[in-house]
Amino acid sequence: MTATGRIAAVIVTYNRRELLREALDAVMAQTRRPDLVVVVDNASDDGTGELLAERAGEVDLVALTHNTGGAGGFAAGIARALQRGADWVWLLDDDTVPTPTALAELAAVADPAALVASAVRWTDGRPHPMNTPRPKPGASAAERAAARALGCVPIRSASFVSVLVDARAIRESGLPIADYFLWNDDFEFTTRILRGRRGLLCPASVVIHKTRTFGSTDADPGERFFYEVRNKVWLFTRSPGLAPAERVLYAGSTVRRWAKTFIRSQDRATLRKGLAAGLVAGLRSGPRPNRQVLSRAGFPARPAARRTAPPTAGR
């Protein structure tokens, strides 16, 4: 069941120099070290460039000319990893510190799964609710038993905090959609990867996500609520990641979560503005092709997967 071949770690960073240093140290200290470490710098201006220059022998740097968000960064980083011949791609945020055996545990149960996610903890050891993979609805008894035999749980989606993805599945299903910028890019990408394929949560693989606060996805996002709304509209209307019944299920869950966000918010006017603008932007047009978004940030977006343009529903 062990993942064989070349594993590339992909880390996307923006203005978090010291957290990135800690993350890189932890990646380099893995008991099963990645064969390649790709770091995408989203035009940081806090000295991150100098740090990466010091570690030029350890990392393959993708330096973008402006901030493309996590979505654009991971699209560029995965494309580079595939261009470098990766068989598996390990996706990590720059504030994620993997424990020493995190990658080895993922690799040990990866094949024949298309995706395996780590258990994400906060700095005090609690499970981080923001990064809890969604269990797979309707998983068969046989599927649950097979996963349980590996010490795992079947999942339907995961976050980019720490997930190992089969490059074959990426080439078949496409890269993350760069124009999402932030929020829901990982949900769209992983549901697309896992539609008709096997995904696992591996509790033995543990990473620490050093977010500033401990919270879930219904925390008040302020002006960033625009991206949550716009991207969810794009996901539910244009992405092939979810089956029709799943769209209804997750759309209902989204509306309930938005309601909780409004109830708890101290600035509902900002949320209302983001809701209106996000709905208009999401319904008016779809995301731009990756080639267009990434080329404007200085990345030579040569096709690394079968499809880099945003997928459309039913395609």
- pLDDT interval class at 42 (50, 70, 90): very high
- Tell whether the model's pLDDT for residue 311 goes beyond 60: no
As a whole number, mean pLDDT of residues 23-27 equals 97
Do residue 149 and residue 221 come from a single domain? no
- Tell whether the model's pLDDT for residue 142 goes beyond 50: yes
The boundaries of the domain holding residue 249 are: 217-284
The more confidently predicted of residues 313 and 179 is 179
Q: Minimum mean pLDDT among 7-11, 110-114, 299-303, 304-308: which range?
A: 304-308
Q: How far apart (Å, rounded) are the C-alpha atoms in residues 43 and 166?
A: 28
- Whether 160 and 180 have beta carbons less than 8 Å apart is answered as no
Question: How confident is the model at residue 307, as a pLDDT?
Answer: 39
Q: At what angle do helices 268-284 and 244-264 cross, to 10 degrees?
A: 160
Model confidence pTM above 0.85:
yes
The more confidently predicted of residues 304 and 148 is 148
Do residue 278 and residue 201 come from a single domain? no
* Radius of gyration for the chain, computed over Cα atoms and rounded to the nearest angstrom: 18
Q: How far apart (Å, rounded) are the C-alpha atoms in residues 247 and 239?
A: 10
- Tell whether the model's pLDDT for residue 303 goes beyond 50: no
Q: Does some domain include residue 140? A: yes
Question: How confident is the model at residue 309, as a pLDDT?
Answer: 39
Q: How far apart are the first and last CA of the chain?
A: 31
- pLDDT interval class at 306 (50, 70, 90): very low
- Tell whether the model's pLDDT for residue 47 goes beyond 50: yes
Q: How far apart (Å, rounded) are the C-alpha atoms in residues 171 and 77?
A: 14
The more confidently predicted of residues 305 and 87 is 87
- Tell whether the model's pLDDT for residue 81 goes beyond 70: yes
Do residue 80 and residue 99 come from a single domain? yes
- pLDDT interval class at 301 (50, 70, 90): low
Task: Give me the numbers of helices (H) and strands (E) for the chain, helices first please.
Answer: 11, 10
Each as own residue / partner, the long-range contacts of residues 57-65 (CB below 8 Å, 24 or more positions apart, any chain) are: 58/24, 58/28, 59/24, 60/36, 60/84, 62/38, 62/299, 63/298, 64/40, 64/294, 64/297, 64/298, 64/299, 65/297, 65/298
Q: Does some domain include residue 306? A: no
Do residue 192 and residue 161 come from a single domain? yes
Do residue 100 and residue 207 come from a single domain? yes
- Tell whether the model's pLDDT for residue 35 goes beyond 80: yes
- Whether 2 and 113 have beta carbons less than 8 Å apart is answered as no
Do residue 40 and residue 16 come from a single domain? yes
- pLDDT interval class at 215 (50, 70, 90): low
Q: How far apart (Å, rounded) are the C-alpha atoms in residues 292 and 179?
A: 9
Do residue 137 and residue 199 come from a single domain? yes
- Tell whether the model's pLDDT for residue 77 goes beyond 50: yes
- pLDDT interval class at 11 (50, 70, 90): very high
Do residue 12 and residue 144 come from a single domain? yes
Question: How confident is the model at residue 95, as a pLDDT?
Answer: 94
Give tens-digit pLDDT for 225-256: 999 999 999 999 999 999 999 999 999 999 99
Q: How far apart (Å, rounded) are the C-alpha atoms in residues 150 and 216?
A: 28
Q: Does some domain include residue 37? A: yes
Q: Which of 179, 210, 217 is nearest to 93 (CA)?
A: 210
Q: Average model confidence (pLDDT) for the chain?
A: 91
Q: Does some domain include residue 307? A: no
CATH of the domain at 67: 3.90.550.60
- Tell whether the model's pLDDT for residue 219 goes beyond 70: no
Percent of the chain past pLDDT 70, that is, above it, reads 93
Do residue 277 and residue 138 come from a single domain? no
Q: Does some domain include residue 270? A: yes
Q: What b-and-e string marks burial along 46-73, b requiring 16 or more CB atoms within 10 Å of the CB?
A: eebeebbeebeeebbbbbbeebbbbbbb
Q: Does some domain include residue 300? A: no
Question: How confident is the model at residue 216, as a pLDDT?
Answer: 62
Do residue 137 and residue 240 come from a single domain? no
Q: Does some domain include residue 117? A: yes
Do residue 132 and residue 260 come from a single domain? no
Q: Does some domain include residue 86? A: yes
Q: Is the peptide bond before 112 cis (omega within 30 degrees of 0)?
A: yes
Do residue 169 and residue 225 come from a single domain? no
Report the number of distinct structural domains present in the chain.
2
